[in-house]
Amino acid sequence: MRHVDFSPLYRSTVGFDRLFTMLDSLAQPDNGQTYPPYNIERTGEDAYRISMAVAGFAEDEIAIEAHRNVLSVKGERKDEGNGEGSEVLYRGIASRSFERRFQLADHVEVNGAFLKNGLLHIDLKRNVPEEMKPRKIAIATAPAKAAKQIEATTTK
C-alpha cells in the first residue's frame, strides 16, 4: 500500500490542516474493525440515524460523545459471574469492549440516542445556519433612461 507524506505541505500552507488530516485518515484503514456492525440511514431531508447492534450491553455500559465533528461510541461490559459450577462451552455473543468513531460533516448535531431490542439508535440532524444557506438574489431591471439630446446653439 502506498503512503503519501503530506508533511512538506503542512509547512507551506495555512488553514488546510483539517483537509490533510482527512486525507491521511483515508489512507489508513481502520484496522479491519468490524465490531459492532452498524447501519447509517437517511430518515429525512436533513435527518440521519446510525443504528448499531450492541446486544448484551446496557445503557450504563455505553458512552456516546460528540466533539469537533467526531462522534465516538464506546462500549465496555462489566464482568458478569456465570455462577458457581457453570462454564461457557461456546461463546457466540461478543462481550468485548469496543470504540467506534464516525466523522460528521459540518453543522451535523446529535439529537438523541436510545437503546431498543439490542440496537443503539443515534439520531443526527444537519442544521445549516441561515447565513450559510444559499439565497436567491433578485435581478432588478434598470430604469430606461431617456436619451439626452444635445442641441447646438446658433449664434448670429
Averaged pLDDT for residues 56-64? 90
73 and 126, same domain (yes or no): yes
Helix (H) or strand (E) holding 65: strand 62-67
Residue 141 pLDDT greater than 90, yes or no? no
Averaged pLDDT for residues 33-44? 86
Q: Give the helix ranges, DSSP H, for 14-115.
A: 17-27
Residue 8 pLDDT greater than 70, yes or no? no
59 and 95, same domain (yes or no): yes
98 and 41, same domain (yes or no): yes
60 and 20, same domain (yes or no): no
Query: Would you say residue 156 lies in a domain?
Result: no
Query: Would you say residue 149 lies in a domain?
Result: no
53 and 123, same domain (yes or no): yes
Question: Half-sphere exposure (CA, 13 Å, Cβ side) for 76?
Answer: 3
Residue among 97, 117, 110 nearest 55 (CA): 117
Query: Would you say residue 52 lies in a domain?
Result: yes
Query: Would you say residue 146 lies in a domain?
Result: no
Give the pLDDT confidence score for residue 78 in this predicted structure: 75
Backbone angles phi, psi at 61, to 5 degrees: -100, 0
57 and 115, same domain (yes or no): yes
Give the pLDDT confidence score for residue 119 in this predicted structure: 92
Query: Would you say residue 46 lies in a domain?
Result: yes
* Residue 25 or 121, more confident: 121
Give the pLDDT confidence score for residue 13 in this predicted structure: 57
Q: Give the helix ranges, DSSP H, for the chain.
A: 7-12, 17-27
73: β partners = 64, 100
10 and 63, same domain (yes or no): no
Domain count, the chain: 2
* Residue 19 or 145, more confident: 145
17 and 57, same domain (yes or no): no
Residue 6 pLDDT greater than 70, yes or no? no
Give the pLDDT confidence score for residue 134 in this predicted structure: 81
Query: Would you say residue 50 lies in a domain?
Result: yes
Give the pLDDT confidence score for residue 108 in this predicted structure: 87
14 and 73, same domain (yes or no): no
Helix (H) or strand (E) holding 74: strand 70-75
28 and 39, same domain (yes or no): no
Give the pLDDT confidence score for residue 91 in this predicted structure: 78
72 and 4, same domain (yes or no): no
**What domain range includes position 107?**
33-79+90-130
Cβ atoms of residues 95 and 141 within 8 Å: no
Q: Rounded CA gap, 65 and 63, in Å?
A: 7
Give the pLDDT confidence score for residue 104 in this predicted structure: 87
Residue 70 pLDDT greater than 70, yes or no? yes
6 and 74, same domain (yes or no): no
Mean pLDDT of the chain: 79
Q: Rounded CA gap, 95 and 75, in Å?
A: 10
Give the pLDDT confidence score for residue 35 in this predicted structure: 82
pTM of the model: 0.62
